Every structure is written in structure tokens, then in C-alpha cells.
Amino acid sequence: MAAFRSLTADRQTFEPFKLAARTRSARSIDEKSKSASTELPLHLFEWSQSNQDGVEVKNVRSVTDLEARDVPTVRVVFAPRDAPAPETADGLMRLFENFKIPSAFIAESIQNISQSFAAQKDIDGTTYVWFHFLCKTVNVDGNRIIHPQGDIQDSSELGQAYISAQMQSQADFSWLKPGFVLKVKKQPSLPRMPSRTRTSSSDATMNSASVESSIELFCFGAPESLGNRFQKLAGFAICDDLVQDPYILLEVVLEEMYKILDRIGWDISHVFGEIETKTLKLATTPGKVDQLPRDHFTGLHNLAKHVTYLRENCDSALATLSGLRHHHSAAIGDRPEPAQEFTRQALEYRKTLFQSTQRRLASLDKRMANVIQLSFHLVTVGDSRIMMSENQSMKTIAVMTLIFMPLSTVAGIFGTQFMKLDEEEPWHIRVSQDFWLLWVIAMPLTVLVVIIWRVWYYDARGRLIGELPPRGKDERGWLGWKTVAFLGKGET
């Protein structure tokens, strides 16, 4: 029953991982990557009781090379991302099996889980702590965010849509998806001679250890900056520093991931700041709204989308940090050692930093909403000014028409056959006896046109201001004749 309940005992997750790797391999056309799938480049940092200082190892090309090395007390392993990629699937499978990586952790990578945290003590006494950390990243070129252009060979409709989306203003679909697994196995041992320990804030001291520990931290798909961080750690931290509280390794991981998330937030803020400044400057001259870039709203939408993702990542990081703090408190008990107390304080401090970034991202989100709303108002004001300009033009045309209308009327009347000019002197104008026909025909037509116009005008005006019932979906207006019937019934 204990094995059944263990999160590390279910090895059936390997089959979906293998299947996903085969599926991706079938889609790949790079035969070279297929042939290299048995290799797995690894980057190691090791500490041992015999040699307290950390050692960096770079020439490990496969899991076989890793297994051939002596087992140190503390080992940090940097491996490719725990995704079923064709070029690393075989190597990752062997690493999972030989080092007993929790199957639940593998299942998370297959399902593309955005956030997780778990702590489990296995049946052999080994403590496993693992989590995934999803973080949005952007690539800034000058004052714009761009998506790195890669070789995408996908002619499907979905693939072409993805390529088209990459070309949008301020678009970037880059993500950082590392996963971390900490294994801590402690075994009682015979008392040994006191050994030295060193921290960054104190000189060498003496400490007697009565427990042999085996500590392994696996970093899958971790950023290069985290490797640089452990490289510095190997230069000043000794083995006993890490054995006293192995959870300090996870605190180092969260520290570096926080720096990355915070830096991305500032990068987006700087890009948006320039757009915000230009928009506010245009707000002082609404008539020049046409100076807004054509991709202005597209860029703002993509920037807001990046901030939304970062806020989600920050919330997930705080949830992970909360789980780690709770587990660490339960593990160290009520009387923590100085090193354990230091880790507890560091985790508490890391929480305040994530909360600070969370609040700044919320503020940035509101600023973006304000600028988007301002941009819409500027466009509306610009359109209104254009309409006012066109109305002024129509007013000018109407005035000029009114000025020349009497002259046109007189010219029209004198141009009819009812009036003729004598061809000889004294050139008198002769009016036909049937001149009255002109008025008999023209006046009724004029009255009819005026009536039609007035009925249509009152119909449109009444429905606009709500004095008349709205017209049905399939109902025709018939130039307002139904309004005449409506008014004829005495309704208002």
C-alpha cells in the first residue's frame, strides 16, 4: 500500500513520454537530431565531504558518463528541458529511470503544467521536492519586442497562422519552462571528526556531523544565468554549508528565477513607457491623431498580453514559494538550526520580492488600460473633427446653392418654351397664353415632394429619440408612411 501511494512509484508515465517523443520524432525531418538522441549533455556542480569546495564539471555527455563518476555528497545536475523532444528523449528516459525522478514530475512535463509543487518522502526515506516554474520571456530589440525568427517548416493552416502572429507588433511567443527536482537522502553514520563549515557571513567554524547525506538537485531546462549562479556558489560555499540545510539550493533557484521574471517585467515596462509618452504627447494635439502608428493598438494588445502572462507567472511563483515555505517549516520543526533559520528567512524575504513585482505588474496593467482607453478617445476625437470638417464643407455648398437658387429658378423659367424673345427690334419678350400650365404642374409636384420629405424626417427622428416604436427586424419603413398611420390612430 505504501508503494501504491508513493508519487515516485508509478513508472507508467514513461510510456506516454516515449510515445510523445516518437510522435515528435516522426514529424521531424532532421535525421541528425534523431541519431543524436542517445546523448544527453549535462553540466554538473559537485561537493563532497573529502573535498569541501565545489567542483564544476562540463564534459559529461551522457547519463553513462554521469553514472561512471563517484557519487558526491551534493550534486547539482543541469539537463535539457524535461520535454519529449526527439534529440533528448532517450537520454532523459535513462536519467529518469536511473535516478528515480518522480513520475508525477514527468507527467507534468507531458501535460505542459504551468505551475506545480510537491514534497514527498518515499518508502526508502528519500525526500523528493519538485516544481515547475513557467515564465514568460521577451526579446527586446531597441524599443520593440520581437519574436526570434526560427526555421518553421509547417505549411498547415495552423502553422501559417502561428508564423503570421509572430510578425505582429510587439509579439513574442518565447517561454521559459524549467523544472527542478531536489532529492535528499540521509543515512545514520558513525561519529566522525568535526569538519569545518563556512558561510558567506562568517569565518570557518567547526561542526560535527553524525548523518551522512546524499543531496541531488536536477535542473531541467534551466536558464544559463542559473548555471552562472551555481558557478559562483561553488566558489565560496563548501559541502557542509549545503548539507546543513539542502533547501538552500531551492532558495538559490527561486532567487534567480525571480530576477529573470522581474527583469522581463522591467523590459516590458520600458517598451510601454515610450509608447505611453508618445500617446500622451498626441493627446495635447488631438488633430494629429493620424500620427499614431497603424499597429498602435496591436502593439498595445500584445504588451498587455505579456503583462497578463507575467502576472499569472508571479501568482504561480508565490504559490510555489508558499508550498516550499510550508514544507520547510514542517521539516525543520520548532527548533531550527542556524542554517535552517537562515533559509527560512531567505524564503520569507523572497516572498516579499515576488509580491513587490506582482504589485508593479498590476500597476503596469492599469497604465496600459488607461493608454488604450486614451487612444480610443483620441481616434474618436479625430474622427469627430473630420466629420465636422466635412459638415462645414456641406454647409458651404448649401449656402452657395441657396445664393444661386433664385437665379437658377429665374433662368429655368425664362428658358422654357412659354417665353420667347423677338428676333427683331425692339426684342420684346413674349409670354405664351398657356404660361399658367407651368405653375399648375410645378406647384403640386413641389407640395408632394415636401410632404414626402416631412413624413420621412419625422419617422427617422421619432425612432431615433424613442417617440416611435422601433422597427421590426423584417419590417420595411416605406419612407415613414406607417408613421402616418401610427399618428392617425392618435398614439404618441
- Alpha-carbon span 36 to 417, nearest angstrom: 100
Query: Are 61 and 104 in the same domain?
Result: yes
3-state secondary structure of 222: coil
Does a structural domain hold residue 158?
no
Select from 333, 140, 159 the least CA-distant residue to 245. Answer: 333
Does a structural domain hold residue 292?
yes
Query: Are 169 and 240 in the same domain?
Result: yes
- Alpha-carbon span 314 to 257, nearest angstrom: 10
- If one counts the domains in the chain, the total is 2
3-state secondary structure of 458: helix
Residues 401-437 pLDDT 10s: 889 888 888 888 888 888 887 777 777 888 888 888 8
Assigned C-alpha cell, 361? 505588474
3-state secondary structure of 144: strand
The confidence score (pLDDT) of residue 307 equals 95
Select from 225, 232, 304 the least CA-distant residue to 263. Answer: 225
Does a structural domain hold residue 486?
no
- Alpha-carbon span 183 to 215, nearest angstrom: 6
Query: Are 325 and 442 in the same domain?
Result: no
Q: 230 CB contacts (<8 Å, ≥6 apart)?
A: 45, 76, 252
In a 10 Å sphere around its CB, with 0-12 CB exposed, 13-18 middle and 19+ buried, how is residue 206 labelled?
exposed
Does a structural domain hold residue 206?
no
Query: Are 217 and 110 in the same domain?
Result: yes
Domain that holds residue 50: 15-26+36-150+164-187+212-381
Does a structural domain hold residue 474?
no
The confidence score (pLDDT) of residue 36 equals 42
DSSP string, 373-405: HHHHHHHHHHHHHHHHHHHHHHHHHHHHHHHHH
- Alpha-carbon span 453 to 205, nearest angstrom: 102
Does a structural domain hold residue 340?
yes
Query: What CATH number corresponds to the domain at position 183?
Result: 3.30.460.20
- Alpha-carbon span 240 to 195, nearest angstrom: 8
- Alpha-carbon span 157 to 160, nearest angstrom: 5
Select from 202, 368, 215 the least CA-distant residue to 300. Answer: 368
Does a structural domain hold residue 425?
yes
Question: Is the distance from CB of 130 to CB of 36 less than 8 angstroms?
Answer: no
Query: Are 254 and 328 in the same domain?
Result: yes
Return per-residue pLDDT of the chain as tens, 492 residues.
Answer: 344 445 555 555 566 776 666 665 555 444 444 444 568 899 999 999 888 888 999 889 999 999 999 889 999 999 999 888 878 888 898 899 889 898 888 888 888 888 889 998 888 888 999 999 999 999 998 888 988 876 555 566 776 777 777 888 889 999 999 999 999 987 654 444 444 444 444 443 444 444 466 899 999 999 999 999 999 999 888 898 899 999 999 999 999 999 999 999 999 999 999 999 988 888 887 667 677 888 888 999 999 999 999 999 999 999 999 999 999 999 888 888 999 999 999 999 999 999 999 999 999 999 999 999 988 888 887 777 777 777 888 888 888 888 988 888 888 888 888 888 777 777 788 888 888 888 888 899 999 999 998 888 888 777 777 666 666 555 555 555 555 555 555 544
Query: Are 55 and 105 in the same domain?
Result: yes
Select from 263, 260, 267 the least CA-distant residue to 303. Answer: 267
Q: 287 CB contacts (<8 Å, ≥6 apart)?
A: 382, 385
Beta strand 175-176 with 135-136: parallel, antiparallel or unpaired?
antiparallel
The confidence score (pLDDT) of residue 365 equals 95
Does a structural domain hold residue 469?
no
- Alpha-carbon span 293 to 94, nearest angstrom: 53
Beta bridge pairs of residue 43: 78
Beta strand 115-121 with 195-199: parallel, antiparallel or unpaired?
unpaired
Query: Are 341 and 451 in the same domain?
Result: no
- Alpha-carbon span 239 to 72, nearest angstrom: 10
The confidence score (pLDDT) of residue 368 equals 94
What are all long-range contacts of 1-4, with beta carbons under 8 Å and residues at least 24 apart?
Answer: 2/123, 3/123
442-460 burial code (b ≥16 CB/10 A, e <16): eeeeeeeeeeeeebbebbe
Compute the C-alpha angle 115/118/121, nearest 5°: 165
Question: Is the distance from CB of 145 to CB of 167 less than 8 angstroms?
Answer: no
What are the start-end ranges of the H helices in 36-126? 63-68, 89-98, 103-110
What are all long-range contacts of 421-426, with beta carbons under 8 Å and residues at least 24 apart?
Answer: none
Residues 181-215 pLDDT 10s: 999 987 654 444 444 444 444 443 444 444 466 89
How many residues appear in the chain? Answer: 492
Query: Are 289 and 323 in the same domain?
Result: yes
Query: Are 234 and 345 in the same domain?
Result: yes
Residues 327-383 pLDDT 10s: 999 988 888 899 999 999 999 999 999 999 999 999 999 999 999 998 888 888 777
Query: Are 183 and 313 in the same domain?
Result: yes
Query: Are 308 and 439 in the same domain?
Result: no
Query: Are 316 and 401 in the same domain?
Result: no
